[in-house]
Chains A and B, each alone.
Chain A
Amino acid sequence: MRFSGILIIIFSVFFSCKKTTVNPPEAMLPMPPPANTGTSLQLNINNVANGKSLILGAAGSYTTANSDTFYVNLLKYYISNVSLTNSAGQTFTVPESYFLIDQSDSTSGFTTIQNIPADDYSSISFMVGVDAARNTSGAQTGALDPLYGMFWGWNTGYIMAKMEGYSRRSAAGNKTLFFHIGGYTGKFTGVRTVTLNLPINVHIQEQHLPKISIAADLAKWFSGTHALPFSSVYNVTSLSQKSQDIADNYANMFTVTAVVN
């Protein structure tokens, strides 16, 4: 009797806290990603500058077509709305394709796109930046989460591409370079659509993971359509003709370096 009384007390001690347990139920734990058995494509985007592999910080020195030598502390940009076109001109657009390429994250340039209709595709298109709809439809998540520092609060919308660095040719007092290129509508926008013809068709089929490798040359931000020496263009962090010019230039920074079927 005495023993069972103590047992009851022990039980009540034990269960009295059960209600406040905070662990989520099993059903809320994230599901493992599905095995890649479908029709998929690996898209690799590799940042370079003037043909050289891009290294952040003082170890990497690069030169623009304007003979400006520069260093890079940060490089991030959005790739979105990826589509593939077959030789008959039919286009498949990858749904919900938003990728943030971040040079400080070595995995961010490697993306596997799943559920592409089996076919031979001769070109790939994508936007640099984020489409207008996602700039105006409220709080987003995933790659579009504003906490990645690619969102303007004061003039809401995504920073499509951001580069920060250093050049002795910069006219800024402390020789810094700041390029935050935004805008999704109106006179100045940072969104550009890029279409790249593939040197050979990419063959999407079951049980294979073909690969498209693309080089993105940062040095091309400052030359090509518009010559932009750092003596006059060094701090572009709002909408202007300069941000427009940089976006015109970066639309041409991509080159397909390999298609592996």
Chain B
Amino acid sequence: MKKAFCILFLAIAATSCSVDPEIKPIVAADGIKEIIPEGWPQPFYRFTDNPITTDKFILGRALFYEPLFSLDNTTSCSSCHQQFAAFSQNGHQFSHGINGLLGKRNAPALQNLTWNTSLMHDGGVNNMEVFPPAPMTNPVEMGETLDHVVQKITASYKYKDLFRRAYGDDTVTTQRMFKAIAQFMGTMYSYNSKYDKVKQGSESFTASEQNGYSVFVQKCVSCHKEPLFTDYQFRNNGLAVNTNLNDSGRAHITQNPADLYKFKTPSLRNIEVSGPYMHDGRYMTLNNCLDHYTSSVVSGPTLDPLLNAGISLDAQEKSDIIAFLKTLTDHQFLSDKRYSESNQ
């Protein structure tokens, strides 16, 4: 009897804590900090007013992978931004949001975002911290209200702990969420590709890669400027306007007819894994893209003057450029566990 009594107590002691949902252990995000690789320009977004801490990064990462951000709790940032595809969406011309709704632009790769002077293909977002409201409130993406997301995150047990660790108490505000997400997004650095190692002298290009690089520097680099492989400018690169979408591009933001059909030059880092290509994902392969510049540039009042005559490339040059572009793939970045959902 006495023994049974003690066992009963022990059983209560053992189970008395299990009423709270279990919090999975969190893998540390070692070494997360602001990075400016040698020879790179100063970033546009600085963490001065949003000092990086491991706990804020971890909170931002949890929110990035959080489907509660969407109206029906199905869609997270990571639904359309997958790490193995350099945080673009593999194979999707357009991504689907809630209820299977489709947008009209291709989900871009996310990397080295702090150098972006604006975000979105049309540059509509002026600061990385205020990026999240766009997909969260877009009816064809997450379809939510910010107010409701704050309520849902506040009610989630998991986030009480994550917010306390990051901010000292568990109050959920949009500012706290967005600054944490900015820490996660803004520290997605990709600077360890073969190209980078060749530049540092620790690896060397093959003959084909070297030839591709030489042609690239002659014919492509004025827009896809090293080391970030973009100049962050808005340009009409001569894509025939898709009359079903009628996407006016930068002009949608500026209301300036001179900006019609212009889109931001994308970085070419990790381009091998981040197709489909172009703002509307019309091309599935890098070959398609090069074929566009040699053969299908459409003239128009806002066409970039650099493309008035297209770009001349022979078959060998195309295949060498593609060999070179593949040296921009950063396998370390694509598999870096600190950015992965498995850490949640």
CB < 8 Å neighbour of B50 from A138, A147, A156:
A138
The answer to whether A153 touches B10 (Cβ under 8 A) is no
The answer to whether A24 touches B170 (Cβ under 8 A) is yes
CB < 8 Å neighbour of B127 from A20, A137, A147:
A137
Q: Which residues of A contact B50 (CB under 8 A)?
A: 138
Q: Which of B143-151, B269-277, B302-310 contacts A (4 or more CB under 8 A)?
A: B143-151
Is the CB of A31 closer than 8 A to any CB of chain B? no
The answer to whether B130 touches A139 (Cβ under 8 A) is yes
Binary per-residue interface labels of chain A (184-215) against chain B in the complex, 1 for a CB within 8 Å, 0 otherwise: 00111000000000000000000000000000
Instruction: Give the complex CA separation of A156 and B135 in angstroms.
Output: 12
The answer to whether B17 touches A145 (Cβ under 8 A) is no
Is the CB of A59 closer than 8 A to any CB of chain B? no
The answer to whether B16 touches A13 (Cβ under 8 A) is yes
Q: Most chain-B Cβ atoms within 10 A of its Cβ — which of A16, A24, A146?
A: A146
The answer to whether A9 touches B9 (Cβ under 8 A) is yes
The answer to whether A156 touches B146 (Cβ under 8 A) is no
The answer to whether A154 touches B138 (Cβ under 8 A) is yes
Interface residues on B, range: 35 or more
The answer to whether B13 touches A12 (Cβ under 8 A) is yes
Min CB distance B153 to A, Å, is: 12
Min CB distance B9 to A, Å, is: 4
Instruction: Give the complex CA separation of A113 and B127 in angstroms.
Output: 30
Is the CB of A239 closer than 8 A to any CB of chain B? yes
The answer to whether A139 touches B129 (Cβ under 8 A) is yes
**Residues from 124 to 153 in A contacting B, C-beta threshold 8 Å:** 135-141, 145-147, 149, 151, 153
Q: Which residue of B lies closest to A10 (CB)?
A: B9
Assuming the A-B contacts A139-B178, A147-B145, A153-B134, are A20 and B124 also in contact, with contact meaning beta carbons closer than 8 angstroms in the complex? no
The answer to whether B136 touches A20 (Cβ under 8 A) is no
Q: Which residues of B contact A147 (CB under 8 A)?
A: 145-147, 150, 174
Is the CB of A6 closer than 8 A to any CB of chain B? yes
**Residues from 243 to 299 in B contacting A, C-beta threshold 8 Å:** 252-256
Is the CB of B169 closer than 8 A to any CB of chain A? yes
| Chain B interface mostly | helix
Is the CB of A67 closer than 8 A to any CB of chain B? no
Instruction: Give the complex CA separation of A187 and B257 in angstroms.
Output: 13
Q: Which residues of A contact B164 (CB under 8 A)?
A: 22
CB < 8 Å neighbour of B175 from A10, A139, A153:
A139
The answer to whether A146 touches B17 (Cβ under 8 A) is no
The answer to whether B129 touches A240 (Cβ under 8 A) is no
Binary per-residue interface labels of chain A (203-235) against chain B in the complex, 1 for a CB within 8 Å, 0 otherwise: 000000000000000000000000000000000
The answer to whether B255 touches A187 (Cβ under 8 A) is yes
Q: Which residues of A contact B132 (CB under 8 A)?
A: 153
Is the CB of A88 closer than 8 A to any CB of chain B? no
Assuming the A-B contacts A9-B9, A138-B129, are A145 and B170 also in contact, with contact meaning beta carbons closer than 8 angstroms in the complex? no
The answer to whether B169 touches A24 (Cβ under 8 A) is yes
Binary per-residue interface labels of chain A (84-110) against chain B in the complex, 1 for a CB within 8 Å, 0 otherwise: 000000000000000000000000000
List 20 additional contacts besides A146-B133, A155-B252, A240-B255; criterion CB under 8 Å: A6-B6, A6-B9, A9-B13, A10-B9, A13-B9, A13-B13, A20-B20, A22-B160, A136-B126, A138-B130, A149-B145, A153-B130, A153-B132, A153-B136, A154-B120, A154-B134, A155-B124, A156-B127, A156-B130, A238-B255
Q: Return 27 A-B CB contacts under 8 Å, by A number.
A: A2-B2, A9-B10, A10-B9, A16-B16, A16-B17, A20-B20, A22-B160, A24-B169, A24-B170, A28-B168, A28-B169, A137-B49, A138-B50, A139-B129, A139-B174, A139-B182, A145-B175, A146-B133, A146-B174, A153-B125, A153-B135, A153-B136, A153-B137, A154-B134, A156-B124, A156-B125, A239-B255
